[in-house]
Amino acid sequence: RRWSGANGWVVVGDAPEEQGVPAGSPAPGSRSSATQFVSVAVRKRATGFRFTTSLLVLLVCGIALMYGSVGPWVHVSGNAGISGLGISLNGTDPAVSTLIGVNGWVTFIGGILLVVFACFEMTSEELQLGVFATIIAAVTAIFAIYDMFRIVQKISQVPTSTLTDVSVGWGLIAVLSAAVLATLITIVRLLQR
């Protein structure tokens, strides 16, 4: 393909050859260095699928966020006579919303968005994708830190007794760990561009 001023881009052999070539312009079929640079840059952006360790970890963080969001955030255990009694509140339970004001749906959506943007970054090197992934990871981490802070605050207000034990569930720990790790990974990936 070559550029023909009046005809636009034409495939060599499909259009009639130009009669005269203006002075100072390249010969038909040759390319200027700027045209070569532009075509190489466009080809580099659309290289297809690429898979790196950081993108794999970002995918795992997104999945861990979703899984932890529906997992137990608060675990209450105690003794009722001979047997032990254990109750857990999941992150998406309405009681968690009542307890701390937000619930696991926010971090669940953050996990979905991280998985989606990690998949997008596997097929494109666009800077905007990295920026959006970093913002999503940071906002999700802020919510996860807030959730952990409020749950620990509420647990510390429970009167201590020998019959009950209230603790943070593994789901909230997974959410906080995955959100912080995703934020660090996205920031590092953004700085490496």
Q: What token pair was written down for 171?
A: 């789901």
pLDDT (0 to 100) of residue 77: 80
First to last CA, the chain: 32
Rounded CA separation 45/126 (Å): 8
pLDDT (0 to 100) of residue 25: 54
- pTM for this model (two decimals): 0.69
pLDDT (0 to 100) of residue 154: 87
pLDDT (0 to 100) of residue 176: 96
pLDDT (0 to 100) of residue 41: 42
Per-residue pLDDT of the chain (193 residues; tens, 9 = 90+): 777 777 777 776 654 554 555 555 555 555 544 444 444 444 444 456 777 899 999 999 999 999 999 999 988 887 655 566 778 888 888 888 888 888 899 999 999 999 999 999 888 888 899 999 999 999 999 999 999 999 999 888 877 765 678 889 999 999 999 999 999 999 999 998 7
Long-range own/partner contacts, residues 48-57 (CB < 8 A, 24 or more apart):
48/123, 49/122, 49/123, 50/122, 50/123, 51/122, 54/185, 54/188, 54/189, 55/118, 55/121, 55/122, 57/181, 57/185
